[in-house]
Amino acid sequence: MNNAEITTSRPVIYRERCLNLRQGTLSCQVCIKNCPHQAIEMHGLDVSIDTAQCHNCGLCCMDCPTETFEQADFSPMSLLEQAQSHLPVTLFCHMVSRSADKPGIIRIPCLGLLDTRLLIALSSSGVTEITLEGLQQCPDCPTRVGQQRLLHTLVQTKPAIKRHFPDIYSDHAEVQLHVTTAQPQQPVATQITNRRTFLENVLRTSGQLAAFTALQALPLSIRELEKKQGETDDAVLSKQDYARKHLPQRQQLALFTLRSMWDHTKRGVDDLPWFTRILATGNCSACGSCALICPSGAITLDHQEPFRLVNFQTARCIGCNLCVALCPEKALAQTDAVDQSTVAENRVVTLFECEEASCLRCGKPFICSSELTGFCSACSHDRNIENDLFGNAEFLRITRPGRNL
């Protein structure tokens, strides 16, 4: 795709990424609440788009924390890639009658797509001037919210830049943001500010950016979750669906900015915007539920004989909290990330390390613990029943379905 010819298309739905389906309960409605056309519907836990109502603005693609929606002909990372090589940059929407026939002139579905992460990433990539065309036509557009969204992004919210991005850019470096009418030769408003002030104006905290309903803690294993889904009329995700991992582009933009800062300063900060981390808080059985449920692949279940490891990568964590909510042992907790180098350098942290052994009775692998001496939990349970019924007699064994005893 030539990014200079970006047009609009109806979003494609990747249902396996949806938090509602992955958790098995309706916990996130950010796409429904934010759609300006009321084109997104929820049938049980399954999301769909009413094509008769959809105007292809693409705002759902930027708002969804897991990027359940994608446009085939627009992506923030492709826009960032082209903008880096052409300075200054002109962005215009479909309300402007012109063609993207020159380098650095890019058509996007809606100017409201320029959220905080994308603007900061453009700035950190070296873009010194951005011209926006079509903002004055927002009242005549079916979407209508592009101007409102962009102005909300540009409003100064907190002096958080002093805490999150100190001394990244020199004070003399300037970012120019132009807003023009449909006639690009006649700018009607110009805002010129130094790069640090520009970042102050567009920075928002992760809580504001991902303002979706808090997930309810459900101590369900994946097997229980599948059973729960199967008992309803809602769509069901298979284990193959759960196994598909995807890093949303909104997270890729945050990583781009953070790594640009790290390459420039090599100095950590007290806390980071947009990034969370998972902590180990209790007894882990290394069942793998957290690794399977994680939509972005931040948690993985790895094997290093004779150990089973639960590993975590802060750079890939989108803060959805599914692993915490669905851990059957309640062994995880979520908090803000503080170590910049861990994110910038893609470090992997081991949350749990458990020894794996073969059951003396059924021969299947299991995780050792102080309560299980040589037998897996299923066989230990069977032995306890046998002992209660027959003492220590070994002439009778209870056979569990699916286990060769």
For residues 263 and 169, the model is more confident at 263
Phi and psi dihedrals of 311, rounded to 5? -105, 155
Kindly give, in sequence order, each residue whose CB lies less than 8 Å from that of residue 135, ignoring residues fewer than 6 positions away.
111, 146, 147, 150, 179
| 324, pLDDT greater than 90 | yes
pLDDT of 220 reads 39
Residue with tokens 């390390």: 353
Rounded mean pLDDT, 314-322 = 94
User: What pLDDT is recorded for position 329?
Assistant: 84
Task: Average the pLDDT over 46-69 and give the result.
Answer: 94
Tokens, residue 134: 């079509």
At residue 368 the predicted structure's pLDDT band, cuts being 50, 70 and 90, is low
Residue found under tokens 């669905």 = 326
How far is residue 218's CA from residue 26's CA, in Å, rounded to a whole number?
Answer: 12
Look up tokens 């409201």; give the residue.
112
Q: What confidence tier does 222 reach under pLDDT thresholds 50, 70, 90?
A: very low
What is the residue extent of each domain of the chain?
Answer: 3-209, 244-356, 359-405
Question: Both tokens of residue 92?
Answer: 């215009």
Whether domain 244-356 has CATH 1.10.10.10: the reply is no
Question: What value does the mean pLDDT take over residues 108-124?
Answer: 85
Q: Is residue 100 within 8 Å of residue 6, measured between CB atoms?
A: yes
Dihedral sign for Cα atoms in the order 144, 147, 153, 158: negative
Residues 276-291: tens digit of each pLDDT: 899 988 778 788 889 9
Residue 225 has pLDDT above 90, yes or no: no
For the stretch 343-361, pLDDT in tens is 888 999 999 988 777 778 7
Residues 109 and 94 sit within 8 Å (Cβ to Cβ): yes
Task: Evaluate if residue 209 carries a pLDDT over 70.
Answer: no
pLDDT of residue 303: 87
Domain 3-209 part of CATH 3.30.70.20: yes
Q: What share of the chain is helix, strand, coil (3-state, %, to 5)?
A: 35, 20, 45
